[in-house]
């Protein structure tokens, strides 16, 4: 019984140590987020619904509703308004985004870096931009 308590205590300490290493601006993003709504070309993007984004430390994993898997790291800049994020994909692609977290809602507006559009400046899309908005809900912990 004592060994089990020590193992649990060790696991909790390891979890606290990992969380302490995550910068404060990234801590609000930690966890699993489920796609609730999307927008592209100024129109709803229902393909987003049901996808899952998991953020652990500065690593992200996106499993789309259709089964595609994207992995990489993220970098946030909270000195800008709106808040900015770069998603650096393992395959070399980079998304430039703005984001906000409010309670259990996470919104992201992104474009592929190097495309015709620069980083979004607002949470809006139109048929003249390549931006995509994703709204996600935090999964219960």
Whether the predicted pLDDT of 84 surpasses 50 = yes
Structural domains of the chain, with CATH: 24-138 (2.40.128)
Q: For the segment 99-119, what is each residue's pLDDT rounded down to a tens digit?
A: 999 999 999 999 999 999 999
85, β-bridge pairs: 76, 97
* pTM > 0.75: yes
31 in helix, strand or coil?
strand
Cα–Cα nearest to 51, from 39, 40, 67: 67
C-alpha 120/C-alpha 91 separation (Å) is: 22
Q: Region 55-63: what's the mean pLDDT?
A: 95
pLDDT in tens, 18-48: 444 666 768 889 999 999 999 999 999 999 9
């Amino acid at each position: 019984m004592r060994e089990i308590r020590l193992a649990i205590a060790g696991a909790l300490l390891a979890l606290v140590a990992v969380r302490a290493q995550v910068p404060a601006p990234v801590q609000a993003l930690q966890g699993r987020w489920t796609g609730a709504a999307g927008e592209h070309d100024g129109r709803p993007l229902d393909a987003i619904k049901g996808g899952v984004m998991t953020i652990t430390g500065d690593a992200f994993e996106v499993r789309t509703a259709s089964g595609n898997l994207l992995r990489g790291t993220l970098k946030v800049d909270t000195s800008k308004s709106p808040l900015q994020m770069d998603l650096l994909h393992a395959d070399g692609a980079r998304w430039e985004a703005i984001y906000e977290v409010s309670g259990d809602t996470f919104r992201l507006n992104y474009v592929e870096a190097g495309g015709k559009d620069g980083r979004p400046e607002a949470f809006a899309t139109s048929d003249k931009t390549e931006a995509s908005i994703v709204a996600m809900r935090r999964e219960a912990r």
